């Protein structure tokens, strides 16, 4: 059992397919690193997957197991951290209702991340009722664990901001906490929930190999944590820079150099490359791409290897077993939160508060 006297983290991913190197620099490396400092809860947002794929339960189940495999391979340690399978946590569904009453519908629909997703997915006005609701559900995910810190990629900050608003509002409306209370003091002042903070990784938004859009599975521009050396090389080679000759002064803000800074580990080497590229000092894109591909390969090689250990039915069985044990652990915390919330709302009728 992990020590529980540390501040809590709650964060997670929607199971939509394999994780990529954008996840790694955006948030995954933070999550792996913070497992000793924080009591960490990592949530598989499988309910959210149904917002756009309600008719694909089997694919969602598959993606759910795959996400956990990717996490474990990346270094999420089930001995120190708790895995949270969203649909196994009744308190999250209950809190979603409670919080939904405190958020004006226009506030929810104005959420810039929600708007961007509707646009990107071309959903127009034909999306499910559950789609905007997921943003409220995400507030409930975080607050059910009374988390103080939420490590996420840059695109999720708008959701954490909404969560902060609703956490404060709950405290004002039901816990007698004064609106002038500093965010850091909400629990001490009698609030059920801390006002959580987002933490964005060192590269909040990694450009995809198309050189234009954010790296994402749906845009087919991602380098996956499970890609082979050859796949990584081929993908990096596709990066377009528009540069003609090794003596052309290059633009060190281009996608290739975003990768140089994100994945090369030696700061001196990065500076040298930037300097020579900017001056067009007989340096070809091909050699830089080879260096970038090697650096990415070095990062993902151990992940790829550990991932292979979970292949097949034996791997599935191990993951299911883990999820069962972790669900019990997660529900201890989330059920307690729900009790506290019900008591604050004068709803402590039949169950002990």
Which residues contribute to the site for ligand TRP (CB under 6 A)? 10-14, 43, 45, 48, 138, 141-142, 150, 152, 156
Nearer to ligand TRP, 147 or 264 (CB): 147
Judging by beta carbons within 10 Å of its beta carbon (0-12, 13-18, 19+), is residue 340 exposed, middle or buried? middle
Nearer to ligand TRP, 147 or 293 (CB): 147
Which of 269, 301, 141 minimizes the C-alpha distance to 150?
Answer: 141
Nearer to ligand TRP, 10 or 292 (CB): 10
Nearer to ligand TRP, 11 or 81 (CB): 11
Minimum distance of ligand TRP from residue 16's CB (angstroms):
8
Task: Please identify which residue in the block is written with the tokens 């150099």.
Answer: 257
Which of 181, 102, 89, 208 minimizes the C-alpha distance to 142?
Answer: 89
Cβ(223)–Cβ(211) below 8 Å: no
Handedness of CA 336, 340, 345, 351 (dihedral sign): positive
Minimum distance of ligand TRP from residue 248's CB (angstroms):
39
Q: How far is CA 342 from the centre of its chain?
A: 29
Minimum distance of ligand TRP from residue 223's CB (angstroms):
18
Q: Helices 285-308 and 57-74 sit at what angle, rounded to 10 degrees?
A: 100
Minimum distance of ligand TRP from residue 137's CB (angstroms):
7
Q: Which two tokens stand for residue 38?
A: 């924080």
Task: Please identify which residue in the block is written with the tokens 């499970």.
Answer: 226
Minimum distance of ligand TRP from residue 166's CB (angstroms):
13
Query: What DSSP element (H or E) covers 199?
Result: strand 197-200
End-to-end CA distance of the chain: 25
Minimum distance of ligand TRP from residue 94's CB (angstroms):
16
Nearer to ligand TRP, 219 or 234 (CB): 219
Q: Which two tokens stand for residue 345?
A: 């709302």
Nearer to ligand TRP, 43 or 239 (CB): 43
Cβ(36)–Cβ(4) below 8 Å: no
Cβ(2)–Cβ(79) below 8 Å: yes
Nearer to ligand TRP, 52 or 335 (CB): 52
Q: How far is CA 14 from the centre of its chain?
A: 8
Minimum distance of ligand TRP from residue 261's CB (angstroms):
24
Nearer to ligand TRP, 10 or 260 (CB): 10
Minimum distance of ligand TRP from residue 92's CB (angstroms):
9
Nearer to ligand TRP, 10 or 74 (CB): 10
Cβ(222)–Cβ(20) below 8 Å: yes
Cβ(191)–Cβ(175) below 8 Å: yes
CA distance 37 to 44: 21
Other CB atoms within 10 Å distance of the CB of residue 331: 17
Minimum distance of ligand TRP from residue 120's CB (angstroms):
12
Chain residue whose CB lies nearest ligand TRP: 45
């Amino acid at each position: 059992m992990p020590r529980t006297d540390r501040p809590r983290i709650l964060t997670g991913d929607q199971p939509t397919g394999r994780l990529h190197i954008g996840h790694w620099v955006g948030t995954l490396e933070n999550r792996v690193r913070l497992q000793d400092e924080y009591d960490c809860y990592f949530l598989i947002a499988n309910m959210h997957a149904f917002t756009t794929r309600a008719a694909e339960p089997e694919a969602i189940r598959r993606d759910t197991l795959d996400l956990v495999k990717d996490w474990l391979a990346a270094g999420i340690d089930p001995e120190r951290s708790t895995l949270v399978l969203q649909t196994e946590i009744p308190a999250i569904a209950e809190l979603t209702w409670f919080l939904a009453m405190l958020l004006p519908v226009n506030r929810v629909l104005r959420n810039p991340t929600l708007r961007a997703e509707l646009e990107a997915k071309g959903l127009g006005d034909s999306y499910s009722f559950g789609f905007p609701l997921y943003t409220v559900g995400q507030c409930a995910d975080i607050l059910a664990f009374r988390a103080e810190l939420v490590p996420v990629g840059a695109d999720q900050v708008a959701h954490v901001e909404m969560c902060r608003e609703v956490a404060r509002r709950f405290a004002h409306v039901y816990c007698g906490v004064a609106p002038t209370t500093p965010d850091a003091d909400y629990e001490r002042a009698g609030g059920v929930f801390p006002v959580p903070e987002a933490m964005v990784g060192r590269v909040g938004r990694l450009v995809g190999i198309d050189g234009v859009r954010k790296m994402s599975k749906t845009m087919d521009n991602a380098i996956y944590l499970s890609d082979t050396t050859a796949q990584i090389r081929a993908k990096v080679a596709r990066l377009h820079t528009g540069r003609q000759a090794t003596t052309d002064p290059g633009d060190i803000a281009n996608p290739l150099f975003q990768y140089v800074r994100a994945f090369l580990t030696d700061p001196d080497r990065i500076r040298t490359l930037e300097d020579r590229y900017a001056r067009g000092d007989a340096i070809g894109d091909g050699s830089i791409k080879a260096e970038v591909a090697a650096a990415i390969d070095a990062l993902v090689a151990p992940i790829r290897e550990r991932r292979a250990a979970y292949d097949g039915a034996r791997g599935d069985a191990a993951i299911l077993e883990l999820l069962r044990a972790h669900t019990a652990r997660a529900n201890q915390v989330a059920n307690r939160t729900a009790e506290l919330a019900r008591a604050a709302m004068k709803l402590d009728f039949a169950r002990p508060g």
